[in-house]
Structure 1
């Protein structure tokens, strides 16, 4: 296979070779060229609000500690002891000034500094003068409006440059609240027997919405027979550096400022008041986008921010070509009214949660794709051409321009490494 994609603008055809979903060598290259070099979401700053707060994270195949150190800095420490390599912290979350390794009881401050070793007389006095026995930190950790990212590549561009014009859409999410967003407790973790890139595609694929999630839309239509916007009208947008978004009219209630018929009159009045406040802050046009439009955002390679009937962040990482581990977070405005928070959480669980209407459907669809890739030798290519005939800038939300943008960035990173390798032979 000498091509990953075939991008034929004259023929309006975009094809992806199916080996990228099943080939172990491709996965190894992805880890080297994508997960080792791109900005990866580690968590939201509000997950660790107090000094000493920490959470264990798996990011880009690494075991990390996401910690709010005593000096006020938020760090990502590699969760491995410099002595013999054991995990230093075994608890998933907590608050501590010191981390103590279970194996030989080496102790570290929550900024990673080694502060205690049993049998210290067995080591030279200058044993850690250069700090080489401290817990190592990820050098590149940056924040955009509460969303924290790490990068394992010392030469990577800044997070601000990497996000590029995707920041506009993250801003639309964060600006729902005057006080910013906070992460709600309880990360949802699950696995899917499918390639990670299928979830990246699916998360910004509105084309599958009506057929795959028909049961959900039938229920919504029954609740409100006059629902006009079930057509999911909107646009698909390609963004910088492989990011993409679909932005479309919301056919359901959004606890930011759009009510649904089954909510009571007081709740509906709250929604209208909220919309007035948004207009006062941002003007009518931006307030309308914030309140009445959904956004599914993919930040290359593996962060999805869903701003739909609730706000979620989802990351995923491959453990093999046909298996990924997924982590889902729910976000909400700081200080949100308790009744609004309950509606938001119900919305989240109803559609996006692992037991909701959408996620099991999506997972089944992805696993069916993965199962059928054993036919790759005879049926080699996936088609992601929908909307190419409309021309640049005219994509509907149900088109696939945002996915093509993901694949072009993917192709650049993987194909360049293949060409460099070939040149050295």
Structure 2
């Protein structure tokens, strides 16, 4: 399957086939989800030995288990006998996992521990060492976030994240206590291609004033001036920025230090928390991130399917379920140093805005489902779509990693998202995937 003609980075033109064709989707499972670092768990979910979560890497179901030595391992959640689902619970704590079909039992480190009627039916001839759970090739962590990769030849997680870590630390490492997921996993099925919700959050500030006009009128308590400023350089970075060129990862950022809490009914306690701790953050991350980014509206995307929104404080992963369906998992995430009342406020507001019945998610769900459905027709699939807003209007900005377009209203990040998608789907192996040198992005064209 050739994807080189399906997207043009220099013009933003893209074929609608990428949202509907089964052959393209199967290629994504192999070369994107089978090759990229994918979020598995937060340390707070598997705090103690034996703690586990059940999740997905693409459409492969996996078990993520904290080991006795406090390392983390992940395995395909399938019995190696007849392929039944091994564990059905979303999370818990266990010393072993037993299949409810024929009773094969596995230890927390994946070893096959017991086989019913091993002597009587197998004549004692089964080699249990050859039938352990299938491990995920690589499992690594970054400041509380655990990732897995099926490809043993993939670069390290640190290299994969690259310069995105400079932005990611604004949430993960701003305060000494770190972060935690709070509340339960909120799961929603959307009849949309998985790429649509990712692009919607990674850089589409354009839709907010239209798709979410009523919701914003209902809950907005602070001004988001960047949504009205467009992307003219005359507006300056004070109106926000779209950051890409980070090995497929992206950031959409206001730079006012508090607008992340613009949709809270009463943001005053959180703003007071921010101001009381800004000096601490400055000592850890420097003045620019403490004053400009911490507390701001900040959309962070880790390619291909993980998104973090500090301020709105939601943390989300998209699990593909075919070319026309995605399962969206969302949590609230807080800093451990926050007082309990602020943590409670964050969870409540996350449910209000981006929960299963949230004001914003319902708007997006309708639009993205329609975009997917409209891509299935014979004639419609022959149409091109465009992400060409602000083509050629990006540059390096002193003090900020990445290729940056001014403003929150742009399609700069979406172009880079599909560029990475094209690079991953077109590469035979990781050695064929480019790693960007940020310093030369401004002259790349």
Aligned with 2:158 (options 150, 157, 160): 160
Task: Extract unaligned runs of 5+ from structure 1.
Answer: 418-425
Partner of 2:362, secondary structure, is helix
Question: How many Å separate the matches in 1 of 2:349 and 2:293?
Answer: 17
Matches within 5 A, 1:149-228: 149-204=147-202, 205-220=204-219, 223=221
1:341-392 alpha-carbon deviations (Å, 9 max, x no partner):
1121122122221211211111111012112224563561111011114244
Following superposition of structure 1 onto structure 2, how do residues 225-304 of structure 1 map, counting pairs within 5 Å? Answer: 231=228, 233-249=239-255, 254=260, 262-263=266-267, 269-304=272-307
Q: Is 70-79 or 143-152 further displaced after alignment?
A: 70-79
**How many residue pairs are counted as aligned between the two chains?**
406
2:141, 2:96 → 1: CA distance?
A: 25
1:199/1:280 CA distance change after superposition, 3 Å: same
> Is contact 2:53–2:63 with CA below 8 Å preserved after alignment?
yes
Shift of 1:142: 0.8
Partner of 1:406: 417
For 2:271 and 2:83, the matched residues in 1 are separated by 55
Return the alpha-carbon distance in structure 2 between the equivalents of residues 195 and 263 of structure 1.
Answer: 34
Verify the 8 A CA contact 1:229 1:250 in the aligned structure 2: no
Give the equivalent residue in structure 1 for 2:41. Answer: 43
Q: CA deviation at 1:110?
A: 0.9
The runs of 5 or more residues in structure 2 that have no matched partner are: 230-238, 397-403, 429-445
> Normalised by the size of structure 1, how large is the TM-score?
0.87
Indicate if the aligned counterparts of 2:216 and 2:263 stay in contact, CA closer than 8 A.
no
Give the SS at the match of 1:4.
coil
Does structure 2 retain, via aligned residues, the 8 Å contact 1:19–1:376?
A: no
Alignment RMSD (CA, Å): 2.6
Contact 2:258 2:295 in 1 (8 A): no
Report how far residue 73 of structure 1 moved: 2.1
- Structure 1 residue matching 2:374: 3-state secondary structure: helix
Q: 1:77 to 1:170 in 2, by over 3 A?
A: same
What is aligned with 2:318?
316
Give the match's secondary structure for 2:348.
Answer: helix
Given that residues 295 and 310 in structure 2 are in contact (C-alpha distance below 8 angstroms), is that contact kept between their aligned partners in structure 1?
A: no
- Of residues 115, 118, 143, the one that matches 1:117 is 115
Distance in 2, Cα, partners of 1:350 & 1:181: 21
Aligned to 2:21: 23
Q: Which moved more, 1:369-378 or 1:92-101?
A: 369-378
Q: Distance in 1 between matches of 2:284 and 2:152?
A: 39
- Give the alignment partner of residue 69 of structure 1, picking from 67, 70, 95: 67
Task: Report the Cα distance in structure 2 between the residues aligned to 1:375 and 1:117, rounded to whole angstroms.
Answer: 51
> Alpha-carbon deviation of 1:61?
1.1
Cα shift readout 1:27-77 (whole Å, capped 9, x = no counterpart) = 111111111111111111211101111111122211111111233221112
CA contact (8 A) 1:15 1:382 kept: yes
Aligned partner of 2:134 in structure 1 is 136
Q: What is the Cα deviation at residue 228 of structure 1? A: 5.5
Q: Is the 8 A contact 1:166 1:239 kept in 2?
A: no
Q: 1:263 to 1:73 in 2, by over 3 A?
A: closer
- In 2, Cα distance between equivalents of 1:35 and 1:281: 34
1:127 aligns with 2:126: yes
Secondary structure of the residue that 1:395 maps to in structure 2?
strand
TM-score, with length taken from structure 2: 0.84
Per the alignment, residue 91 of structure 1 pairs with 89
Superposed displacement of residue 294, structure 1: 2.1
The answer on whether the counterparts of 2:257 and 2:294 sit within 8 Å (CA) in structure 1 is no
Contact 2:248 2:302 survives alignment (8 Å): yes
Contact preservation (8 Å) 1:227, 1:251: no
Match of 1:420 in 2: none
Distance 1:270 1:325, change over 3 A: closer
For 1:243 and 1:281, how far apart are their aligned partners in 2?
23
Task: Say if 2:97 and 2:105, in contact at 8 Å, map to a contact too.
Answer: yes
Structure 2 counterpart SS, 1:278: helix
Contact 1:179 1:334 in 2 (8 A): yes
Q: Deviations over 1:320-345 (max 9, x none)?
A: 21111111122111253111111211
Q: 1:262 to 1:299 in 2, by over 3 A?
A: closer
Q: C-alpha displacement at 1:276, in angstroms?
A: 3.9
Is 1:6 the counterpart of 2:8? The answer is: yes
1:353 and 1:184, CA in 2 relative to 1: closer, same or farther beyond 3 A? same
Q: In structure 1, what is the equivalent of residue 405 of structure 2?
A: 395
Distance 1:273 1:107, change over 3 A: same
